[in-house]
Structure 1
Amino acid sequence: MTETTQTPMPLLTPDQRDQLLANGRQPGGDHVPVVKFFNPVGVGTWLATELDADNDTCSGLADLGFPEIGSFSLEELAALELPFGMHIERDVFFTGAFPISAYAEAARETGSITTAIRILSNAARAQHGERT
């Protein structure tokens, strides 16, 4: 039996990288998250809003058991070796709808980014439904 090595999905698409870099050139803004990363086998969710010119340091909201605004390294996320040959993944279905401050507030109130996303997504759908 041969063992296959799974190649992880790139953490960022070129468009996401461009948007994060553009946001990074406008620091201090309350940007809408561009991308969500998550640990598929455990704790860990990250929402990225900005990327520094070093192409490694992201700013955003991280949740490793307690949600907090800060910075994190793409290189470190990509290098994490998880059980079962898994890696940190990019949520291909995530689309930010609110500024990062809204996600941070909801995450602090609910205790997790995942729950905050669900609540804010439901609010956005309800808001959209009222307009149509």
Structure 2
Amino acid sequence: MKLLTKKLAAQLQRNARQRRAAALAHGTPDPDPLPVMRFFNPLGSASWLATELDEDCILFGLADLGFGCLELGSFALFELEAIRLPLGLGIERDIVFEPVLPLSVHTYAARQCGANVTAQGKLAMADSALRARQKDR
């Protein structure tokens, strides 16, 4: 499976441009986009949510290697593509992933659960918790 289509790459690059433009123009915090895609290890618990792609094919998003240590940062597309798993498998793109909440909600839920979360109920609870925290400020 091809991990990145032209359409997905265009959306990821658009997100990266918007973040840079907002930071330069307003000096405001970065935009909080929806993840564009989810990659996963079909034989393990590792998963990656990507929101941006730069000109060097470096993705930005939430990485969970399955050890309970989540990282919000950059990861290389070519490294994901180079991973070879048993049975001739590799990292795959979740073709049914449809984001409805921004990366901050996914990050909050993942940190609460110790792993990337795709369950809509847990994401909804994380969204409510984040909104309540913002109201209290």
TM-score between both structures, scaled by the size of structure 2: 0.77
CA-CA distance at 1:29 after TM superposition: 1.7
Does the residue aligned with 1:11 lie in a helix, a strand or coil? Answer: coil
Q: Contact between 2:35 and 2:99, CA under 8 Å: does it hold in 1?
A: yes
1:60 aligns with 2:61: yes
Q: Contact between 1:39 and 1:87, CA under 8 Å: does it hold in 2?
A: yes
Identify unmatched segments of 5+ residues in structure 2.
20-29, 126-137
Does the residue aligned with 1:26 lie in a helix, a strand or coil? Answer: helix
Query: How many aligned positions are there?
Result: 113
The answer to which structure has the higher helix fraction is 2
CA distance in 2 between counterparts of 1:23 and 1:33 reads 10
Identify unmatched segments of 5+ residues in structure 1.
1-8, 125-132
Q: Deviations over 1:52-95 (max 9, x none)?
A: 122x1000000012222111000000001111110000000001
The two structures, once aligned, show a CA RMSD in angstroms of 1.7
Q: 1:50 corresponds to which residue?
A: 52
TM-score between both structures, scaled by the size of structure 1: 0.80
1:18 corresponds to which letter in structure 2? A
**Quick one: percent identity of the two aligned structures?**
47
